Chain A
Amino acid sequence: MKLADLAQLLGAEFVTGAEYADREVTRAFAADLLSDVLAMVQEEGVLLITGMTTPQVVRVAEVMNMGAVLFVRGKYPTGATVEYAAGAGIPLLAASGDMYETCGVLYQAGLLPARRKGFRLDRPASPSRPPA
């Protein structure tokens, strides 16, 4: 899906990077916790859907080679976040819908979830081992 089509579908607007409107995204990852993004996203060009507008979000998007960042819940990034994204060439979009609804619309429209190559087995927690 082109970013332009995505914006139209959601009624979202480009905060910066409108020149990348023709960029295609096929997979998405939705989270507010940055460590989750770092842990789960392994492919390039993934769309990040988040409600966080800190500059760190854009830095994570940059180091993970993500395709674009879509801010939800009406969050509109400003200042350092936008400047950094513009400099790094990462398009930012803002939508008024919440994360659930946004994911619902994009999933329905055929966007796929970002994949991870291998999952760590998340067993029920065990008590802390004593230091070796």
Chain B
Amino acid sequence: MELGRVVSELGLEPLATGDLTRDVQGGYACDLLSDVLAHAEAGDLWITHQRHLNVVAVAKLRDLAGVIFARGNRPSPDVVARAAQEGVNLFLSSEPAFEVAGRLHRLLHP
């Protein structure tokens, strides 16, 4: 499903958006960067409570469709700036990871 549609269906707040026409292949929910590096797949939307600067680097390395910061966990401006620079899509959701994952899963696998 196209990222732009996922964003509007889930009501995500865009923080940094490069390419909203990207195809979202699936989701990955995790707060451990090493695990995301090892197991997330290209095209996944990453749902996390983490808001460390390295989130951007991991998303870039794994070629993820984007990152959703859950439970209103707004990252600092330097994280957003780095993402804009690197062309990594960042979004904010006020819902906790369980709910974001649940709704994304239902959207992608109706």
Q: Using a CB–CB distance below 8 Å, which chain A residues touch chain B?
A: 28-33, 36, 40, 49, 51-52, 73, 98-101, 103-108, 111, 113-114, 119, 122-125
Contact A107 B32 (CB under 8 A): no
Known contacts A101-B105, A107-B105; A31/B97 CB under 8 A: yes
**Residues of the B chain whose Cβ atoms lie less than 8 Å from the Cβ of A123:** 74
**Residues of the B chain whose Cβ atoms lie less than 8 Å from the Cβ of A40:** 71, 96
**Residues of the A chain whose Cβ atoms lie less than 8 Å from the Cβ of B96:** 29-31, 40, 113-114
Q: Could you say which of B31, B99, B101, B109 contacts A32, with CB atoms under 8 Å apart?
A: B31
Chain B binding surface SS class: mixed
Contact B105 A103 (CB under 8 A): yes
Question: In the bound complex, how far is the Cα of B29 from the Cα of A103, in angstroms?
Answer: 9
Q: Using a CB–CB distance below 8 Å, which chain B residues touch chain A?
A: 26-32, 35, 39, 47, 49-50, 71-74, 76-77, 94-99, 101-106, 109
Contact A28 B98 (CB under 8 A): yes
Question: In the bound complex, how far is the Cα of B71 from the Cα of A2, in angstroms?
Answer: 26
Contact A108 B49 (CB under 8 A): no
Min CB gap A27→B, angstroms: 9
Known contacts A100-B105, A107-B105; A73/B39 CB under 8 A: yes
Contact A51 B32 (CB under 8 A): yes
Known contacts A40-B71, A125-B77; A30/B105 CB under 8 A: no
**Residues of the B chain whose Cβ atoms lie less than 8 Å from the Cβ of A113:** 95-96, 98-99, 102
Question: In the bound complex, how far is the Cα of B109 from the Cα of A125, in angstroms?
Answer: 36
Known contacts A28-B98, A124-B77; A73/B35 CB under 8 A: yes
